[in-house]
Structure 1
Amino acid sequence: MGKFLFNVIAYGFMLFTAVSIGLYHADIEIDADTIETQMSKATGRNVTVNDEVDFSLFPRLGFNVRNLKIENPEGFSDPYFVEADAAVAAVKILPLLSGTVEISEFVLTRAVIRLERNASGEASWALVSNDDEAKGTAGSGPNVTRRVRDLRLGDVRLVDGDVSYDDRVKDQRFELTDVNLAIVIPSLYQPSNATGSFVYNDEKVSVEVSVDTLAKLRSGEAAKAALTAGFLDAKLRIDVTAQNREALSYSGALSVDVPSIRNVLTWWNNPISIENGFERLEVSGAMVGDMRSMKFENAAIKFDAIEGAGPLTADWGSERTLLSGDLVLDMLDLRPYTPAPPETEGFPPWSRERINFEALKVVDMDFDVVTRKLLVRNLDVDDSAFDFTLRRGVLNATLNRIALYDGMGTGELTLDVSRSTPRISGRFNLANIDARRFLNDATRLDRLEGVGDLNFEIAARGASQNDMISTLNGSGAYNVEDGSIIGFDFLKFAYQIGVFVTGQYQGSEDGVDRTAFTGFGADFRIRNGVVTTDNIALLSPLLRITGEGEVNLPPQTIDIRLNPRLVASLKGQGGDRDKQGIGIPVKLTGTFNESKLRLDPGQAARQRAEDEARRRIDDMLGGDKEDVDSSSAKDAIEGIFGRKKDDN
């Protein structure tokens, strides 16, 4: 944007310099027609002015014209490239004799400047003089500067102008209003500066540029330059050494301080509807770059509560801006950018509110990240390393190492929000985690304690949390060791209903009902949000539980049948549990917030009959002898009760 504006001003004073020199050498009467002829010759465009022309010859060659209009060639949407209420230009005569152009005054007032690149890629600002046309060249503008040894600008200004930019190739458009620009160039060999301001989308932007010597840039040598800008209370400062050979390049230091990224994105017509975050951004460090990209060797970054450092690259030369880097962060707090859990007691219902993923479509990204702390909703993750790419709303993340809840994990995640219906898929492996802390933070359920492993694969689609839960598919397995199920004591329950023949059950030492185990695990499958399993297994010295059933995630309901087996006496913990155990079939039903465990009468009667039949058949077959086939009793029982051998 600044480059185009600078080019317009540069072409402007080059144009008026060429016209002034032409008028100085012309042995003709100076009038509006003469001005139009000389300007048209210098630009290769049709130029018109009002008949009222003020002209002076000495000590400076100058003129004042009104209603200046420079036409566009064919192929552009607007007939005029520039329209100005008034144009004043004055060149000192004596310096011209030594090849120095000293413009004492060049002022465009209330000018409308239209910068357009048409569908063929032609630019409206690529002026062509008649001399260029004769030589078969284009786009170089007035060639008077090729003979200029030095250039001095006094009062050079654009006053109350409007500048529009319309790129039909990239489909990019913007408009600047109230443009005011002042340029001071004492000499090409002395420090020069430009200050200005403009209004974009109803917000004022202030800019100041300084260069130690323009002659160095002109000849391709290195020159020191500085840029400061202010907008929406944000501050930008760049101090560089610049070189303009085949293209402009620079190296130096940059600092950016943006109090509210949210306000800036809204100002840039990219508003985000995420309620929290996207406030302060601070970036500083040494960098190198050109007109297409910028690279930091070790940038210091602050984004909201996130702080870190590392190499960082911004590439805006393609159709979409790409940010990439290797960052080391003290803490990565993602909670402000994800929907907050509802403030309700117990397990909350699934939200039907559409999830806003627009922030994933603003720019593309490619990052490797190491963080000492990662916070995602209620999850608290320690030292972690991951990398991710983001392309046009498709996020691919690889969790190389995540330390969480005293364990470790790895995983992969894909989130595609490029389509109307977002899709998510992932694969995760967690080992040796504190099950109670993890489940409490992840699901608000804290009834399981122990050290566990969990691995699963999932895939879902939908615009809301409820949609994704309803379309969830996948599979997995879990195994927890040396823990307990809190809130229900199965041994106490068995004692109360008179299952124990002898002994007195005292319950847990801390008075909290719990079912202790040495191992607890199962495989599971998920289809359209329904989790099913047929191999639940819980082991403890006094208890064996097998089970099967389902957890229906969309309505948050539970329907699981358990088949516990207890030893007949609290003292008798040795021997074969299958032969000595007493079965108590139960059903676990209800919701995530209110579930109950009750006897399954039909299954209990069946189980008692099977147990008695098993005991009698074992006695007949000599069940204690090692050489007797232990499956024979089981086969006989299954035949009696009508159960096939391959039934579960």
Structure 2
Amino acid sequence: MGKAVKWLLIGLGSLVGLVIIALVAVLILVDPNDYRDRIEAAVEQETGRSLSIEGDISLSIFPWLALELGRTTLADAEGFHDDPFLEVDHVDVGVELIPLLLRRELVTRTVVLDGLTVRLMVDEQGRGNWEDLLPEEADAEVDEPPADEPAPEAERRDLGRTLANVGGLDVRNARVSWDDRQNDLRVQVDPFNLNLDAVRIDERMQLQLDWLMTGDDLPEIAGELSSAITVDGGLTQLALDNLRLEASASGDDLPGGEIAASLRGNPRVDLQNLALDWPDLVLETLGLRAELALQGRQTDAGPEGEGQLTVEAFNLRDLMDRLDLEAPDTADPDVLTRVALSADIRWAEEVLHLTALDWQLDDTTLSGEASIHDFAGPGARFDLAVDEIDLDRYLPEPVEAENGEGNGNGAPAEPVEIELPLELLRGLDLEGEFRVDSLKVAGLRLSDIRTRLHTDNGLIRLDPTSASLYDGSYQGRLELDARQDTPRYALQAELEGIDFDPLITDLTGDESLLLGRGNLTLDVTTRGNTVDALTAALNGDGQFRVTDGAVRGINIAKMLRDAQDRLRGRSPEESDEPVRTDFSELTGSIVINDGVVRNDDLSAQSPLIRVTGSGEADLPQETIDYRLRTAVVGTLEGQDGRPREELRGLTIPLRFRGDLYSPSISVDLAEALSGEQRERLEREVERGRDRLDEQHDRLRDEAEDRLRGLFN
């Protein structure tokens, strides 16, 4: 038995020796460069493209069966580049010899490709220059694999075992160009470097990538990617731990010349079910940090996914500065300094759904839900609510005209343009509810606002809209028609139970001229691209009614007394009584025609006076011409407290004219005098009649007395 083992070992040793001698002989006696022409001819016969091996071919046998190629090129397909489709300066491929001989197992060392160049091209007809290298597809699809062929799972595991023997990949100084002549797009990646550790199934492998991409009219994009990759033997599960992608774009057209971004996390990919689980995606760019917990999958209806998005608080003004954008001019410089966002997201059937939405803007919170079905339009359906917002903080400071008119140098003021994004408005497809708990705008304070937004190819409506304001309520609708180049506006509004004193004070910033509570209805339309045009095209009508109120700035009772005193040649009395006129009811209606507001039925009543009025205000010209006729129906008291009975029944006309915002107020003396003279004439006629009657009675009495004397 011992002799047999001895001779067996001698035989094996001799065999190994013979193999080694044969391999050494091959290395000494065989020059692989002698087979250059055969290799080139075989490739051209197989692919139809010429292969040129310009550098030396080097072959080693033990312990690695290795091949090294010098510069090698593969020609492009006919009709594409004149330059080669593929070039490589150096190739190093090695297979471990012993596993190959004893177990028929392919174990490679790191594959090195140095100076690889690939030129990809799509011609004007849409053909790619790589398509002829792909295997031809079968004429008919086979639903079930033949019995002698391995099932897909078995194929994946066989491939997995094969990859497990790959020693790694090292691509150095590679260049890839993309020339799409159908879409006139040219991109080049140069350099491109890739390094992958030896493949280990169910164990981590380190991957490193870096590149620089340039292109026509494109910024220069540099990037680096690193991750520890783990794959299972069936090639169904892929884990990327410590994934980190750093990219930066630079170019003259970019804000600040450069924008950098960072993406990281630990995604998991189910290759078999085409699913993704990325619970800790973090994106940082331009001072922003966004976190996303994402789950996605491919379905028969397309990609689907859901997750939770959080954007940490950031300064919007700083972001706009980084983007070389000018921040809007706001009355409050501290706004737009804190913005944050969180939401649950879901993508299905090409619609993005946002729920549990929480958007912070300074001191304001917007919440609700929305679904976006068109990002270009955009198109969305929504149900949103705002807790409170002061829009006056975000609007520019009001500009006061010098000298109260024009631009301060005697020239007319330039028209204020209203530049609406008409194309954007026409593309809107929005529908939804919107609520605001508290709003301040143009000095006005509103609460409990409810409205519904509709858009239809540029016809935008807020209908219906309701709100609470100044102890009253608002109901109405607002419409913007942007379908034509000149936008049209329409407003229908009904105010009920409004306290006009604080409303007008907040709106104008000055003490209100009107006190009282009442109702107002308006139905107006206008059109134009400037404020002046909107004013000149204003048309419509309205009605108003105010009760238990007063008009500040005018004391009609005192004006009547003063006017009466002047008419009778007396000096007006001094008085410290309030400069206001009380009324129990004030009613009227207006008709607006091309910016001219006309009223002919003003009526104000109080226990002492009755006021009627008519006239018009020209809004484009900012002028007014209005007459009030005041009739005294009660007894007015003078400064001394004594009644002025002579004023009872007197009618005094007042005239407001001149500048709309600071009119002159005067008594219409011509009408007043004519009325006074008529009253004097009537009184003199009455006195004459009384004197005639008295004279007649006296003469009659005297005649009777004389007659009695004669007969007695």
Encode CA deviations 1:287-340: one digit per residue, 9 max, x unaligned. 22259443232111112432132123344x553333542122211332245443
> Which range is displaced more, 297-306 or 154-163?
154-163
CA 1:286–1:614 in 2, change beyond 3 Å: closer, same or farther? farther
Select which of 306, 331, 352 maps to 2:415. 352
Q: Secondary structure at the match of 1:70?
A: strand
Encode CA deviations 1:17-42: one digit per residue, 9 max, x unaligned. xxxxxxxxxx99875897747x989x
Per the alignment, residue 452 of structure 2 pairs with 387
Per the alignment, residue 601 of structure 2 pairs with 535
Query: Which residue identity does 1:341 align to in structure 2?
Result: P
CA 1:312–1:422 in 2, change beyond 3 Å: closer, same or farther? same
Select which of 100, 108, 113 maps to 2:163. 100
Contact 1:191/1:210 (8 A) holds in 2? no
Query: Which residue identity does 1:462 align to in structure 2?
Result: G
Q: Secondary structure at the match of 2:612?
A: strand
CA distance in 1, matches of 2:498, 2:82: 75
- Displacement of 1:516: 0.6
Per the alignment, residue 650 of structure 2 pairs with 582
Query: Which residue identity does 1:98 align to in structure 2?
Result: R
CA 1:544–1:616 in 2, change beyond 3 Å: closer, same or farther? farther
Contact 2:612/2:628 (8 A) holds in 1? yes
CA distance in 1, matches of 2:299, 2:545: 65
Contact 1:250/1:289 (8 A) holds in 2? yes
CA distance in 2, matches of 1:552, 1:519: 26
Encode CA deviations 1:467-492: one digit per residue, 9 max, x unaligned. 32233222212221111110110001
Contact 1:160/1:178 (8 A) holds in 2? yes
Per the alignment, residue 6 of structure 1 pairs with none
Alignment partner of 1:191 is 2:239: yes
Alignment partner of 1:415 is 2:467: no
> Which range is displaced more, 381-390 or 425-434?
381-390
CA distance in 1, matches of 2:453, 2:629: 45
Query: Which residue identity does 1:64 align to in structure 2?
Result: L
Alignment partner of 1:155 is 2:207: yes
Alignment partner of 1:282 is 2:357: no
Alignment partner of 1:226 is 2:283: no
Per the alignment, residue 353 of structure 2 pairs with 295
Contact 1:471/1:529 (8 A) holds in 2? yes
Alignment map for 1:401-412 (pairs within 5 Å): 401-412=466-477
Structure 2: gaps spanning 5 or more residues: 1-64, 96-107, 131-156, 188-200, 407-412, 638-646, 687-712
Q: Secondary structure at the match of 2:168?
A: strand
CA 1:388–1:117 in 2, change beyond 3 Å: closer, same or farther? farther
> Which range is displaced more, 433-442 or 198-207?
198-207
CA 1:176–1:51 in 2, change beyond 3 Å: closer, same or farther? closer
Give TM-score scaled by structure 2 length. 0.63
Which of 1 and 2 has greater Rg? 2
CA distance in 2, matches of 1:190, 1:283: 31
Structure 1: gaps spanning 5 or more residues: 1-26, 82-93, 126-148, 165-172, 572-578, 619-648
CA distance in 1, matches of 2:527, 2:167: 66
Alignment partner of 1:472 is 2:538: yes
CA distance in 2, matches of 1:103, 1:498: 115
CA distance in 2, matches of 1:296, 1:472: 41
Alignment partner of 1:442 is 2:491: no
Contact 1:583/1:608 (8 A) holds in 2? no
Query: Which residue identity does 1:62 align to in structure 2?
Result: V
- Displacement of 1:227: 2.0
Per the alignment, residue 85 of structure 2 pairs with 48
Q: Secondary structure at the match of 2:671?
A: helix
Encode CA deviations 1:373-428: one digit per residue, 9 max, x unaligned. 11112111122112224677764223532111111001212235676544432211
- Displacement of 1:280: 3.8
Per the alignment, residue 663 of structure 2 pairs with 595
Alignment partner of 1:178 is 2:246: no
Contact 2:517/2:546 (8 A) holds in 1? yes
CA distance in 2, matches of 1:213, 1:486: 74
Encode CA deviations 1:141-198: one digit per residue, 9 max, x unaligned. xxxxxxxx9998643413223478xxxxxxxx97562233335422253531542233
Contact 2:320/2:327 (8 A) holds in 1? no
Per the alignment, residue 32 of structure 2 pairs with none
CA 1:506–1:453 in 2, change beyond 3 Å: closer, same or farther? farther
Per the alignment, residue 334 of structure 1 pairs with 391
Q: Secondary structure at the match of 1:429?
A: strand
Alignment map for 1:52-91 (pairs within 5 Å): 52-58=89-95, 59-60=108-109, 62-66=111-115, 68-75=117-124
- Displacement of 1:563: 1.4
Select which of 538, 543, 565 maps to 2:631. 565
CA 1:614–1:195 in 2, change beyond 3 Å: closer, same or farther? farther
- Displacement of 1:233: 0.7
What percent of counterpart residues are identical?
19
Give TM-score scaled by structure 1 length. 0.69
Contact 2:653/2:667 (8 A) holds in 1? yes
- Displacement of 1:355: 3.8
CA distance in 1, matches of 2:315, 2:454: 25
Higher RCO by CA contacts (8 Å cutoff, separation 6 or greater) = 1
CA distance in 2, matches of 1:112, 1:416: 52
Per the alignment, residue 196 of structure 2 pairs with none
- Displacement of 1:432: 1.0
CA 1:484–1:99 in 2, change beyond 3 Å: closer, same or farther? same
CA 1:63–1:583 in 2, change beyond 3 Å: closer, same or farther? same
Aligned Cα root-mean-square deviation (Å): 4.8
CA 1:318–1:447 in 2, change beyond 3 Å: closer, same or farther? closer
Per the alignment, residue 379 of structure 2 pairs with 322
Select which of 524, 543, 546 maps to 1:458. 524
Q: Secondary structure at the match of 2:636?
A: coil
Q: Secondary structure at the match of 2:115?
A: strand
CA distance in 2, matches of 1:400, 1:339: 26
